[in-house]
Structure 1
């Protein structure tokens, strides 16, 4: 139940009238303000000074106590904390905006036409990169091959990532440059072969053999990609993003651009588990703490994290398995639509165990991608072994899509945080039952059950795997339907979240999942003035109107960004 205009926010008129008004930079008034504090309190107005919230209360009270250089009348519209995406790929999304977009192509021929058009426009780009194809949208749901790409681009390498990033189509030239043949074998990866030759389809770790030989992006490209991602986020009210899995070099590039004022987005960063990123990061940290980098040294705290006013590096991202759509997710029993095949782990269990052992004595957060019930079981058992009961380390399982009912209580027993993306359920529902069968699908995408484990649940989108829109997240979480309103009544509606739970998942719980709940995620005195004004009230809007919501304004540290 909402508590309207809590007494703790207000001061009697007598005291307000007897003192001089205090200076503020920004006052937003006449709004329906959802503070998303612990009591889910309502307010009308907010005062901001030096980028921070200094007061929250009624419009009358705030305007009597404060005088601001900028006054914003919300006209009765809804005001929320800046939205937080708890799991996304910020840099990857920005890059994807400058590659071939193959999203929503309903057949491979349409994808080929998009590649041809891109190649004709950008003739100077040596490598043709693209993302977004999904064979589940094609007639027959069969994987494509590289035959047409080989004919069209015999001397120009092409690499087209599947929508989930866990599979790709590479043409013959790209395979040649990467040294991939029909005999290539790799743990946690697969080269699809037909009639003794690679078809171009690469699953999971094998994709990296090609991706790593693509020329490194320039600083100008990084700046362009990140700037585009930032603008798109602000346009949708997103002010903080967890970027899940970045190499050391990209983290340093982002830090540099933020320091120069060329990038303002608040980022929580998980370092990629690629064998060298964490080592390089720790070497840099050791150098800074030894005194050679005074500026960097002041941003280190505890055993490992690095923190500035715009970036928090505290996570390490591991990958237990692949994706369900590409049949790389590791299952306890075989795929219902591919007998004899159960997916695979991307690394041996010993790798994840050693990573957990290395991090458990530090302040760093282990975040493991796990989709299949076998991948989740492996990760949970390793977490349980090292965490040994309740704790506040907030180690996370990213996605937690298919969890065996016998394993779900381990989330609560060891305070493991399930980090989920509601639109995965409504995107996958068209074919997930084919992969899992009638029994397993009933306990998949079980967000309500996962919420009950710890009493809180961070929500994200996984963009660019899914659309960047937080409104789709809210709709999928609460109504369990997609943008078309399908299915009537919702997909497994018993797993729907309440509107308050969904909003908390996109704000304060997402912040908590990133150890940032004392800075962002709610509208409270002392926190960053990250705010969003919307033309519709998500707490009241009919499901059919949620996706019609428009962002009126987005503020980051009190500065209008949209």
Structure 2
């Protein structure tokens, strides 16, 4: 052995069942070459070995966010950040300032708008039309599945009334057929989005590079990218050519309603694309939208009589798409939030022929489901991919929020059943769904344990019986994230022969108080045995 790098730390959690205390990890040619004690490390070292002693730090397998949208997020986070606004008046003030700063005739953009701020009133462009001085305006709501357009933006897009789509999208209109400005799901949002100015490639590349550096500094060594929008391949190639891709990205291309075998074959061909640290490895599908907008798929309507329809108007075509990809050994990930939506995904997977090649299939989000579906995940060996902060940031223990009000108490009490899934032996991958929620993994791991927002001890926990243990939360970002990608043979634990992807913590994620963990530092990350960043004080 001739290691390139030796990492030393007082605590190393290998997550592979190694019984002896480990305090040293040797890396050679991008792989883990040995694990052992500090004494062992003295025998491994050669003249060319870099030794990095992190003292009281804790090392774990590299953290992986199992659901992010880096490139799509560039578009969704344009303009003024409204996610911190606590009242509609504050939103209006922020948009007024954004309009004042815009170029003459320029578009006003915003993102992160919380529909809870409208209270019992409908989401309507009247809330913004008078503060943007007649400028075209497009505001993304926090769920990423809807937007609010000003009257001028609707005029430029030629949107004057209802539209018919291949997917369950909607241009929401009043009783007179006049658009309210609320656009539900991608096809409706795109009617306006395509008329907004686009960023130059160089600007997008620079923004993406900075975003990925922030990902790395938060402790992430990888991410499961749940989109492959326009320009994604070119951006990833350009960043990697520049040596500016500090984490691994595993991408899933979208398969949408209205497509057939011709389009599916083209998507399957995309799985040949990739580089050293990025690849197209899966297909992303949707069976519903969101509860907050009334576009989820529920067995029973929500309190407004909504969320009764699937995203695929002919849901059997979704099952045919899954059968097409699964039959070719291609992993799938399906967005399913409502109980009927989740059930339909499981039905489709259960109907696959016995000759179907073994591969990983997963369901994304899973916000409210009954007991029988929990057991079906386990029986079918389907991965659950969930985002704890969707629960802690956007719902409330007293059920006074929009999400809970729409569902009613019984279904709201079945919120984000993380612990129930783990008890059944289901692989549970955790993530952020950035830009829908912040991407920093430590607060997310803390929220998964607390069932409330980290750093907010006065908040009541939401479904405290669904809290994860410290180990389960860490596994959700490491070993279970690897299993969710079908990659545990090569990553997800600090084991000899696996990729040398490592995250260094200031505080031990298995013993630290979750509130303290959320506010602590990530000391560094290593990917392929290369140090991506290291805080100055531990270099």
TM-score, normalised on structure 1? 0.85
* CA offset digits 1:322-372 (Å, max 9, x no partner): 112222212111213x2x323432222033122112212112111110111
Q: In 2, are the aligned partners of 1:248 and 1:271 still within 8 Å (CA)? A: no
- After superposition, the Cα gap between the structure-2 partners of 1:150 and 1:463, relative to the gap in structure 1 and judged at 3 Å, is same
What is residue 198 of structure 1 aligned with on the other side? 179
Task: Return the match for 1:239 from 221, 243, 246.
Answer: 221
Question: Is 1:478 aligned with 2:449?
Answer: yes
What is residue 12 of structure 1 aligned with on the other side? none
Question: Is 1:417 aligned with 2:388?
Answer: no
Task: Return the match for 1:510 from 470, 476, 481.
Answer: 481
What does 1:32-431 correspond to in 2, within 5 Å? Answer: 32-39=11-18, 42-67=21-46, 68-96=48-76, 98-123=78-103, 126-136=106-116, 138=117, 140-147=119-126, 149-153=128-132, 156-186=135-165, 187-194=167-174, 196=176, 197-204=178-185, 205-247=187-229, 249-274=231-256, 283=266, 304=271, 306-336=273-303, 338=304, 340-348=305-313, 349-386=315-352, 392-430=358-396, 431=401
> Once the 2 structures are TM-superposed, how far is the Cα of residue 240 of structure 1 from its aligned partner?
0.2
> Once the 2 structures are TM-superposed, how far is the Cα of residue 446 of structure 1 from its aligned partner?
0.8
The separation in 2 between residues aligned to 1:434 and 1:220, in whole angstroms, is 44
Larger CA deviation: 30-39 vs 122-131: 122-131
* CA offset digits 1:252-289 (Å, max 9, x no partner): 43234323423332101010124679967955986xxx
- After superposition, the Cα gap between the structure-2 partners of 1:182 and 1:30, relative to the gap in structure 1 and judged at 3 Å, is closer
What is residue 472 of structure 2 aligned with on the other side? 501
Task: Tell me how large the CA RMSD over aligned residues is.
Answer: 2.8
The separation in 2 between residues aligned to 1:140 and 1:458, in whole angstroms, is 33
Secondary structure, counterpart of 2:281 in structure 1: strand
What does 1:458-473 correspond to in 2, within 5 Å? Answer: 458-473=429-444
- After superposition, the Cα gap between the structure-2 partners of 1:31 and 1:121, relative to the gap in structure 1 and judged at 3 Å, is farther
Secondary structure, counterpart of 1:408 in structure 2: helix
Q: In 2, are the aligned partners of 1:26 and 1:48 still within 8 Å (CA)? A: yes
Q: In 1, are the aligned partners of 2:125 and 2:151 still within 8 Å (CA)? A: yes
Larger CA deviation: 249-258 vs 104-113: 249-258
What is residue 416 of structure 2 aligned with on the other side? 445
* CA offset digits 1:177-220 (Å, max 9, x no partner): 33322333434122232352222111224223222444444321
What is residue 537 of structure 2 aligned with on the other side? none
> Once the 2 structures are TM-superposed, how far is the Cα of residue 501 of structure 1 from its aligned partner?
1.4
> Once the 2 structures are TM-superposed, how far is the Cα of residue 244 of structure 1 from its aligned partner?
0.4
* CA offset digits 1:160-180 (Å, max 9, x no partner): 110111111011222123332
Q: In 1, are the aligned partners of 2:443 and 2:519 still within 8 Å (CA)? A: no
The separation in 1 between residues aligned to 2:506 and 2:24, in whole angstroms, is 16
The separation in 2 between residues aligned to 1:255 and 1:515, in whole angstroms, is 24
Q: In 1, are the aligned partners of 2:5 and 2:27 still within 8 Å (CA)? A: yes
* CA offset digits 1:61-89 (Å, max 9, x no partner): 01222235432221121111211001111
> Once the 2 structures are TM-superposed, how far is the Cα of residue 143 of structure 1 from its aligned partner?
3.8
* CA offset digits 1:467-500 (Å, max 9, x no partner): 1111122112222221244576732222222211
The separation in 2 between residues aligned to 1:81 and 1:106, in whole angstroms, is 37
Q: In 1, are the aligned partners of 2:388 and 2:444 still within 8 Å (CA)? A: yes
Q: In 2, are the aligned partners of 1:25 and 1:49 still within 8 Å (CA)? A: yes
Note the residue ranges of structure 1 that are not aligned, 5 or more in a row: 1-21, 287-299
- After superposition, the Cα gap between the structure-2 partners of 1:64 and 1:410, relative to the gap in structure 1 and judged at 3 Å, is same
TM-score, normalised on structure 2? 0.89
The separation in 2 between residues aligned to 1:507 and 1:93, in whole angstroms, is 23
Task: Return the match for 2:510 from 516, 539, 543.
Answer: 539
Q: In 2, are the aligned partners of 1:77 and 1:535 still within 8 Å (CA)? A: yes
Larger CA deviation: 173-182 vs 319-328: 173-182
The separation in 1 between residues aligned to 2:418 and 2:441, in whole angstroms, is 17
* CA offset digits 1:115-173 (Å, max 9, x no partner): 3333444427943332100021x263534422354345466422111011111101122
> Once the 2 structures are TM-superposed, how far is the Cα of residue 513 of structure 1 from its aligned partner?
0.9
* CA offset digits 1:402-450 (Å, max 9, x no partner): 1232333221222211111111221233124322222222323111222
> Once the 2 structures are TM-superposed, how far is the Cα of residue 95 of structure 1 from its aligned partner?
4.4
The separation in 2 between residues aligned to 1:156 and 1:371, in whole angstroms, is 35
Secondary structure, counterpart of 1:426 in structure 2: helix
> Once the 2 structures are TM-superposed, how far is the Cα of residue 539 of structure 1 from its aligned partner?
0.7
